[in-house]
Amino acid sequence: MTDYSLTLSDQEIERYRLMAQTAERRERELWTAAGAVPGARIADVGCGPGAISVRLADIVAPDGAVWAVDRDGDALAVASALAERSGLPVHTGVGSAEATGLPEGTFDLVMLRHVLAHNGGHEQAIVDHLAALAGPGGAVYLVDIDASSFRLRGAPPEFEEMDRRYREMHRRRGNDLTVGTRLDELLTAAGLDVIAFEGHTTVLTPPPGMRGPAWAARDTLIAEGLATPDDVARWDEAFERTEPTRGGLRFFAANFIAVGRKA
C-alpha cells in the first residue's frame, strides 16, 4: 500500500467538506438506491476526515450507523471529533482499504471514495475486500477520478509545474489516475452485479486558501526528490499573488461513480 501523500491542513479539511457537500447534492438519489436509508449499516472506507461519514450517518440515524475506517490517524482524529460534535452514530477505526478489520458480510452499503487512484497495483484487491464486507443484497459504491481531465483555469504558470511534479509522483508509485474509467470492471471482477456506472464533470470555484491536492502533497514531493523547498516557496508566492483575483479561478474535474450489488 502506498503512503498517504496529503498533508491534512485546515484548507484540506475544508476541501473535503466542500467535496462532501457537492457529492451529497449530486448523488443523494444514488446513495438511496445503493442502500443509504434509515436503519442501514454503512462502511465508509478511506473516510479521511469524515465529511461523508457524518452525512451518511445523518441519513441512517437513529437505528443505523456508519463505520468509518482510515489508515491515517490524523484524519481519523478529525473524523472522530466531527462525529462527536454532530452527535451522529459514527464509529471510527484504523484500517487500510484492503484490510479494514471490519466484519465481513454485515454491511448494507460499503462506500469507497477517491482511494483507488492512490493505491497502484492494489485496486482489485481493495474492491474484492469491499465486496466481502457487503452482506447479501448489499452494495459497493465506488467513486474515483480521471485526472487527465483536471484543469485549473486562471492559475499561475507555477501551478502547472507543481501539477506535473505531482503526477510524476503518482506515475512512479504505479498509481492509475484514470481509474475512475474502469470502476465497473473492478466491481464485475469482484463478483458483483453493476447496477450503476456514470460520470460527471465538477466545476468548482476554489474558496480562499484552497490550493488542491498537489499543494497538499508538497512535503511528499520534497521527500521523494521531485521538488525543493525553493520550489515550494515559489509556488506559495505565486498562489499569494493570485489570491486577490481568485474569483476568476475555476477547477474542472471528471469523476466517475459505480455501484455493484451482491447477490
Which tens digits make up the pLDDT trace of 18-40? 778 888 999 999 999 999 999 99
Q: Tell me, what's the pLDDT at 15?
A: 64
Domain count, the chain: 1
How does the average pLDDT of the chain come out, rounded?
Answer: 91
pLDDT of 2 strictly over 70:
no
User: Looking at per-residue confidence, does 139 or 207 come out higher?
Assistant: 139
Q: Any idea what the CATH number is for the domain that residue 192 is in?
A: 3.40.50.150
Residue appearing with cell numbers 450507523: 65
Full domain range(s) for residue 36: 10-147+174-201+250-261
pLDDT of 16 strictly over 70:
no
Residue appearing with cell numbers 459505480: 258
CA pair distance 184, 138, nearest whole angstrom: 16
Mean pLDDT of 187-193: 98
Return phi, psi of residue 26, to 5°: -85, -35
Q: Are 170 and 179 in contact (CB under 8 A)?
A: no
CA pair distance 167, 175, nearest whole angstrom: 9
pLDDT of 221 strictly over 90:
yes
Give the confidence band of 156 by pLDDT, cuts at 50, 70, 90: confident
Q: Is 70 contained in some domain?
A: yes
CA pair distance 259, 166, nearest whole angstrom: 29
Give the confidence band of 247 by pLDDT, cuts at 50, 70, 90: confident
Q: Is 87 contained in some domain?
A: yes
User: Looking at per-residue confidence, does 87 or 12 come out higher?
Assistant: 87
Q: Is 186 contained in some domain?
A: yes
Q: Is 156 contained in some domain?
A: no
Helices (H), 174-255: 183-189, 212-216, 218-223, 229-242
Mean pLDDT of 225-237: 97
Q: Is 212 contained in some domain?
A: no
Q: Tell me, what's the pLDDT at 9?
A: 61
Give the confidence band of 186 by pLDDT, cuts at 50, 70, 90: very high
Q: Is the peptide bond before 62 cis (omega within 30 degrees of 0)?
A: yes
Grid coordinates belonging to 43 = 462502511
Q: Tell me, what's the pLDDT at 90?
A: 95
Q: Tell me, what's the pLDDT at 98?
A: 96
Mean pLDDT of 201-223: 88
CA pair distance 169, 13, nearest whole angstrom: 22
Mean pLDDT of 54-71: 96
Sequence-ordered list of residues with C-beta below 8 angstroms from that of 23, at least 6 positions apart, any chain: 52, 113, 143
Q: Is 179 contained in some domain?
A: yes
Q: Tell me, what's the pLDDT at 112?
A: 98
Classify the phi-psi angles of 113: left when phi > 0, otherwise alpha if psi is within -120 to 50, otherwise beta. Answer: beta
CA pair distance 215, 235, nearest whole angstrom: 8
First to last CA, the chain: 29
Q: Is 46 contained in some domain?
A: yes
- Mean pLDDT check: name the lowest of 11-15, 157-161, 175-179, 208-212: 11-15
Q: Are 255 and 199 in contact (CB under 8 A)?
A: yes
The DSSP H or E segment spanning 22 is helix 10-34
Q: Are 174 and 119 in contact (CB under 8 A)?
A: no
Q: Is 240 contained in some domain?
A: no
Residue appearing with cell numbers 450517518: 57
Q: Is the peptide bond before 136 cis (omega within 30 degrees of 0)?
A: no
Q: Are 49 and 90 in contact (CB under 8 A)?
A: no
Grid coordinates belonging to 258 = 459505480
Give the confidence band of 83 by pLDDT, cuts at 50, 70, 90: confident
